[in-house]
């Protein structure tokens, strides 16, 4: 009996999400929403994810863009890997190391405490901040954390250290 009751609710959450979202180019025949076409080459999944994300829509930085930002000192680059990873693999020159587990607290410190603990200038909420890690997974989490803390001009380097090394070896 209880199993039958629970079984009825299994499709409820996806239906609630789908029915609460009107997608561009969607038609509504008979009161049910079905996607006939999507504008601007966006997929339905991408639009749903963007709806629930607090990060800006365009957040990826390429190797060349990161190199330009570092050369012009136009951005604060934060590497969210653990210190042992930096010692073992290497560091993107000019980046500040704040392990991902410390990021939330670090971005709420005073400027003096931040500089003392991490050896760099505390990024302001209006500064351009780029997050990096080994392969782009933790930097994406860092991006979301910073967005929740009110940072607006934030990006991440999805290739991370692995991409950086590959490009640097080619030069």
Distance CA 40, CA 114 (A): 42
Distance CA 166, CA 159 (A): 10
Burial class (CB in 10 A: 0-12, 13-18, 19+), 137: middle
User: In which region does residue 58 sit, left (phi positive, over 0), alpha (psi from -120 to 50) or beta (all else)?
Assistant: beta
For 24, 92, 107, the CA distances from 110, given in Å and listed in that order, are 43, 25, 8
Q: Which of 92, 112, 95, 103 is nearest to 165 (CA)?
A: 92
Look at the alpha carbons of 125, 127, 128, 133 in this order and tell me if their dihedral is positive or negative. Answer: negative
Helix (H) or strand (E) holding 143: helix 137-148
Q: Please name every residue paired with 77 in a beta bridge, in sequence order, or none if there are none.
A: 130
Give yes or no: 6 in active site.
no
- Single out the catalytic residue among 80, 133, 143, 154: 133
Instruction: Give me the active site residues, please.
Output: 133
């Amino acid at each position: 009996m209880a199993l039958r009751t629970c079984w009825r609710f299994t499709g409820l959450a996806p239906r609630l999400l789908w029915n609460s979202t009107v997608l561009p180019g969607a038609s509504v025949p008979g009161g049910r929403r079905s996607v006939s076409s999507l504008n601007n080459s966006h997929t339905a999944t991408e639009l749903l994810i963007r709806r629930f994300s607090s990060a800006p829509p365009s957040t990826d930085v390429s190797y060349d863009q990161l190199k330009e930002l570092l050369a012009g000192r136009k951005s604060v680059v934060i590497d969210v890997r653990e210190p042992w990873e930096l010692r073992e693999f290497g560091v993107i020159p000019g980046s500040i190391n704040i392990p991902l587990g410390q990021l939330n607290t670090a971005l709420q410190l005073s400027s003096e405490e931040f500089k003392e603990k991490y050896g760099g200038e505390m990024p302001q909420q209006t500064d351009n901040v780029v997050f990096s890690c080994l392969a782009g997974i933790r930097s994406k989490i860092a991006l979301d954390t910073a967005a929740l803390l009110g940072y607006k001009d934030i990006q991440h380097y999805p290739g991370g250290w692995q991409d950086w090394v590959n490009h640097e070896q080619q030069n």
